[in-house]
């Protein structure tokens, strides 16, 4: 049976653990102890309770079990490197990692740092936590898996196959970098504005915010052009990026975006992983990124108050 360690028992980590169990051997690892009896509510609203192997990092280190087939890192972007460091001493350097982070910070860093294969996953599956023992699988989505250098296609296929068998539809792709940047574009246009203004995604359509969304997308479109990234439907003009962003806003109108949830809980946001790569790219290519810089500074001021 394939064994998977999942570092980070947040919403995606628990969704993965519930889905892969009992098809695969699961170890869900967190910094603090969580109940082993965990419940997932399916997209159809049915609760399912399972006894999962949930342990703390120190318990894992003490036990030093046989190395897993995959180590999934499902922490926030800025905690991914520390999560890897916490287990690096007890796994072979050839162990495949799977990175589930938003943005484009952890992925290039860990790809460079880790000698073994580093797969990146991007998913549209929706999940949120309801407490220490509950997660809601709010919406079925699709997961794409691949590595930044396109060297591990067979491994990506093996993982995509297992995820699909586990009920999380997944496809191995050879353009994961573009897909991560496309998601970055959407996250940059939505997350900072909703987090700073305390609003649901759909409210961005209102007259008070629509112009600000368009100003962000204008800069993002310039950066994507410089990076050679096309919008998902093809096309790299402002129109293609605006269409994508407005479509996601429409489809997620009722969502409380992840960055707003972080701000409400007074947690550090993923601004470094979402705005950071875009601003650095803009600076590198001489593309205007004043609006993005402004959002980053506003978020920094907000976080300083936590």
Residue 186 touching ligand KPL (CB under 6 A): yes
Among 190, 229, 287, 291, binds ligand KPL (CB under 6 A): 190
- Residue 126 C-beta: closest distance to ligand KPL, Å: 8
The smaller minimum CB distance to ligand KPL, of residues 83 and 190, is found at 190
Selected catalytic residue, list 76, 183, 251, 256:
183
DSSP the chain: --EEEEE--SHHHHHHHHHHTTTSEEEEEESS---SEEEEE-TTS-EEEEE--EEEHHHHHHH-PSPPSEEEE-S-GGGHHHHHHHHHTTS-TTPPEEE--SSSSHHHHHHHH-SS-EEEEEE--EEEEEETTEEEEEE---EEEE-TTS--HHHHHHHHHHHHHTT--EEE-S-HHHHHHHHHHHHHHHHHHHHHHT--GGGGGSHHHHHHHHHHHHHHHHHHHHHT---TTS--SHHHHHHHHHHHHHHTTT---HHHHHHHTT---SHHHHHHHHHHHHHHHT---HHHHHHHHHHHHHHHT-
**Contact code string over 11-50 relative to ligand KPL, x by CB under 6 A:** ----------------------------------------
- Residue 159 C-beta: closest distance to ligand KPL, Å: 21
Selected range binding ligand KPL among 21-29, 32-40, 183-191, 286-294, rule: CB under 6 A: 183-191
Residue 187 touching ligand KPL (CB under 6 A): yes
Residue 201 touching ligand KPL (CB under 6 A): yes
Among 123, 191, 269, 281, binds ligand KPL (CB under 6 A): 191
- Residue 58 C-beta: closest distance to ligand KPL, Å: 30
User: End-to-end distance of the chain based on CA atoms, in angstroms?
Assistant: 44
Q: Which of 91, 55, 57 is nearest to 71 (CA)?
A: 91
The smaller minimum CB distance to ligand KPL, of residues 142 and 285, is found at 142
Residue 122 touching ligand KPL (CB under 6 A): no
What residues numbered 281-300 form the site for ligand KPL, per CB under 6 A? none
Residue 204 touching ligand KPL (CB under 6 A): no
The smaller minimum CB distance to ligand KPL, of residues 182 and 187, is found at 187
The smaller minimum CB distance to ligand KPL, of residues 138 and 238, is found at 138
**Contact code string over 247-266 relative to ligand KPL, x by CB under 6 A:** -x---x--x-xx--------
The smaller minimum CB distance to ligand KPL, of residues 110 and 193, is found at 193
In what order do the strands lie in the sheet containing 126-131? 47-51, 37-41, 134-139, 126-131
The smaller minimum CB distance to ligand KPL, of residues 55 and 249, is found at 249
Q: Is 183 a catalytic residue?
A: yes
Give the Cβ contact number of residue 259 at 10 Å: 23
Q: 233 is written with which tokens?
A: 């439907």
Site size toward ligand KPL (CB under 6 A) is: 10
Residues that are catalytic:
183
Q: Which residues contact ligand KPL (rule: CB under 6 A)? A: 186-187, 190-191, 201, 248, 252, 255, 257-258
């Amino acid at each position: 049976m394939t064994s998977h360690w999942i570092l980070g028992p947040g919403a995606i980590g628990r969704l993965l653990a519930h889905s892969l169990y009992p098809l695969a051997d699961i170890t869900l690892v967190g910094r603090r102890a969580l109940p082993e009896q965990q419940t997932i509510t399916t997209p159809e609203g049915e609760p399912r309770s399972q006894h999962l192997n949930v342990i703390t990092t120190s318990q894992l280190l003490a036990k030093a079990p046989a190395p897993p087939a995959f180590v999934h890192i499902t922490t926030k972007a800025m905690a991914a490197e520390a999560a890897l460091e916490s287990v690096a001493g007890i796994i072979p350097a050839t162990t495949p990692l799977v990175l589930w982070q938003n943005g484009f910070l952890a992925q290039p860093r860990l790809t460079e740092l880790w000698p073994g294969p580093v797969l990146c996953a991007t998913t549209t599956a929706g999940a949120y936590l309801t407490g220490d023992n509950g997660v809601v699988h709010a919406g079925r989505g699709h997961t794409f898996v691949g590595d930044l250098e396109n060297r591990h296609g067979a491994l990506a296929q093996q993982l995509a196959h297992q995820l699909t068998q586990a009920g999380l539809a997944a496809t191995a792709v050879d353009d994961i970098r573009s897909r991560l940047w496309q998601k970055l574009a959407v996250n940059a246009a939505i997350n900072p504005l909703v987090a700073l203004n305390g609003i649901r995604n759909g409210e961005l359509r209102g007259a008070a915010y629509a112009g600000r969304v368009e100003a962000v997308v204008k800069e993002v479109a310039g950066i994507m052009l410089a990076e050679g990234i096309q919008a998902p439907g093809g096309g790299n003009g402002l129109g293609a990026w605006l269409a994508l962003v407005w479509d996601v806003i429409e489809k997620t109108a009722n969502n409380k975006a992840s960055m707003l949830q972080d701000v409400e809980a007074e947690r550090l946001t993923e601004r470094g992983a979402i705005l950071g790569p875009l601003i650095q790219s803009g600076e590198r290519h001489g593309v205007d990124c004043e609006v993005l810089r402004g959002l980053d500074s506003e978020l920094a001021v907000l976080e300083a108050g936590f």
